[in-house]
Amino acid sequence: PEAEVLPGAEQIQALKAREISAPLLTHLYTADPSAHVFEGKVYIYPSHDIDAGTPFDDEGGHFGMQDYHVLCQDSPTGPARDCGLALHVRDVPWADRQMWAPDAASKDGRTYLYFPAKRADNRFHIGVAVADRPEGPFTAEAEPIAGAYSIDPAVYADDDGEYYLYFGGLWGGQLQKYRDNVYDARQVEPPPDAPALGARVARLSADMKALAEPTREVVILDEHGQPLLAGDHERRFFEGPWLHRYAGKYYFSYSTGNTHLLCYAVGDSPYGPFHYQGVILTPVLGWTTHHSICQFDGKWYLYYHDSLHSGGVTHLRTVKVTELHHDANGRIQTIHPYGE
Ligand code: FUB
């Protein structure tokens, strides 16, 4: 693996002078923000970045997170509070390490936290933990969710009362090792001229703790109605799926990973297919980019992260928020995190 090359002090100062949003808080490193409006407030479910002392590697071993803290805002333009420890890996019976990007859903007065972690066998699974309050503390189920795997769970609550779980991330997130929900350690990302691998989606069971069906692939189509190709690194799904609904359409958004873009595609069903539309956020400082989109008081907001506060350390990130605009045709206006 390549060693991480940090930007110089001058470059950091120049980016700080141009950043469009300041970190929401800095006493913790936080990343991968999943924001939802629960009980009239914004609750943010982020990763809690630490320097675990694990060496940098291509599998993301340097992301050695151990717990989650939930953040809360009275509104997206106000300060964020750290609600304290919500769940620690030592309290998850099946998990060994690497508590990566979580998400949460609210149903019938309870909050469900969905999170990926590695088992001792080095494979990522997705677990669920339950609380009586949006900020936790959460109690984890004894086993991960059967049929879910890889990383980056995101839950979409549809208007008809159904909940959908999306997940998936390539390379360190291990999605490339699965075909049709079956694990095969020898598998790699498909060749450039083959269809790209998609995120996975399934409806959740009524108790929110299981999949109601096997997961399906989330297919993203190009301008000719053909699936994006695996070699199309500027547009193909890599990790960090998210779903929101705008003007009756379903918007599937995600990170392109090694090209560092947040992109989106639009469809008529939570299952897709989705038609590629464009870029939401141009690259931030740090290798990863990961987001959520939420509506508050009629306005839309993009929650995202970058590594500016840590001087560019890829696994020490801070969460930010900025307003997001859909134009008259429903297209999302591209956001530049350090101005154009
Ligand atoms: O935070 C660890 C991983 O980095 C997440 O799961 C990915 O989406 C990337 O942001």
Active site residue 91: no
CA distance 61 to 57: 6
Protein residues whose CB sits closer than 6 Å to any atom of ligand 1: 31-32, 47, 63, 100-101, 151-152, 169, 239-240, 288, 290
Which residues of the chain, if any, have pLDDT below 70? 1-3
Q: What are 63's two structure tokens? A: 């992301």
Q: What is the ipTM of this complex?
A: 0.98
Beta bridge partners of 73: 42, 80
Q: Separation of 71 CA from ligand 1 center, angstroms?
A: 18
Q: Separation of 32 CA from ligand 1 center, angstroms?
A: 6
Q: What are 274's two structure tokens? A: 């989705």
- How many Cβ atoms are within 10 Å of 330's Cβ, its own excluded? 13
Atom of ligand 1 nearest to the CA of 239: 8
Whose Cα sits closest to atom 5 in ligand 1?
101
Supply φ then ψ for residue 173, to 5 degrees. -85, -5
**DSSP conformational letter for 326:** B
Active site residue 2: no
Q: Separation of 328 CA from ligand 1 center, angstroms?
A: 32
Cβ atoms of 293 and 253 within 8 Å: the answer is yes
Cβ atoms of 159 and 245 within 8 Å: the answer is yes
Atom of ligand 1 nearest to the CA of 101: 6
Q: What is the pLDDT of residue 2?
A: 53
High-pLDDT (> 90) share of the chain, %: 96
Cβ atoms of 250 and 269 within 8 Å: the answer is yes
Q: What is the pLDDT of residue 1?
A: 46
Give the total residue count for the chain.
340
Atom of ligand 1 nearest to the CA of 31: 1
What is the per-residue DSSP string for 230-278?
TT-TTTS--EEEEEEEETTEEEEEEE-GGG--EEEEEESSTT--EEEEE
In 3D space, the residue among 32, 115, 112 whose CA is nearest the CA of residue 71 turns out to be: 32
Q: pTM for the complete prediction?
A: 0.98
Cβ atoms of 325 and 27 within 8 Å: the answer is no
Q: Separation of 167 CA from ligand 1 center, angstroms?
A: 12
Catalytic position from the list 32, 189, 217, 306: 32
- How many Cβ atoms are within 10 Å of 185's Cβ, its own excluded? 8
Cβ atoms of 128 and 207 within 8 Å: the answer is no
